[in-house]
């Protein structure tokens, strides 16, 4: 229902893996830089950032690089505070994000999202 007028969904997927809930917005982007103008759900997801056990963010597929990243909403908030206008694939080491293990299939990526559980247990 995301994208339809009157829809109240904050993201593409809501996933529950005991004891955590993930609010996941999915984006595919060609090139090196994902512009914030393409991320219309930012304000909605930001509302959920301080809820214990709830993790909001974007699964960002840089299709030219065959890389799939988990970028938490807190990272987008930090970038906006720094007056950045986009997320560049070269920022992976600088900012809080996680490269998701993925394998290129014929047209799409097969991705292992289970690493998100360990990512948040370590925090």
Query: How much is the pTM?
Result: 0.84
All structural domains of the chain with their residue ranges = 13-121
d(CA 104, CA 66): 7
Taking every pair of C-alpha atoms in the chain, what is the biggest distance, in angstroms? 39
Architecture of the domain spanning 13-121: 3-Layer(aba) Sandwich (3.40)
User: What tens digit of pLDDT does each residue of 72-96 get?
Assistant: 999 999 999 999 999 999 999 999 9
Q: What is the tens place of the pLDDT at every residue in 45-66? A: 999 999 999 999 999 999 999 9
Exposure pattern of 98-121 as b/e (b: 16+ CB <10 Å)?
A: bebebeeeeeebeeebeebeebee
The pLDDT tens digits for 9-37 are 789 999 998 889 999 999 999 999 999 99
């Amino acid at each position: 229902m995301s994208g339809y007028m009157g829809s109240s969904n904050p993201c593409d997927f809501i996933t529950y893996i005991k004891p955590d809930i993930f609010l996941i917005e999915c984006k595919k982007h060609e090139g090196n830089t994902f512009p914030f103008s393409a991320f219309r759900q930012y304000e909605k997801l930001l509302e959920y950032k301080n809820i214990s056990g709830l993790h909001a963010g974007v699964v960002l597929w840089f299709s030219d690089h065959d890389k799939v990243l988990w970028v938490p909403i807190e990272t987008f908030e930090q970038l906006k505070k720094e007056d950045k206008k986009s997320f560049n694939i070269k920022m992976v080491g600088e900012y809080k994000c996680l490269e998701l293990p993925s394998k290129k299939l014929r047209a799409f990526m097969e991705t292992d999202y289970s690493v998100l559980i360990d990512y948040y247990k370590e925090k």
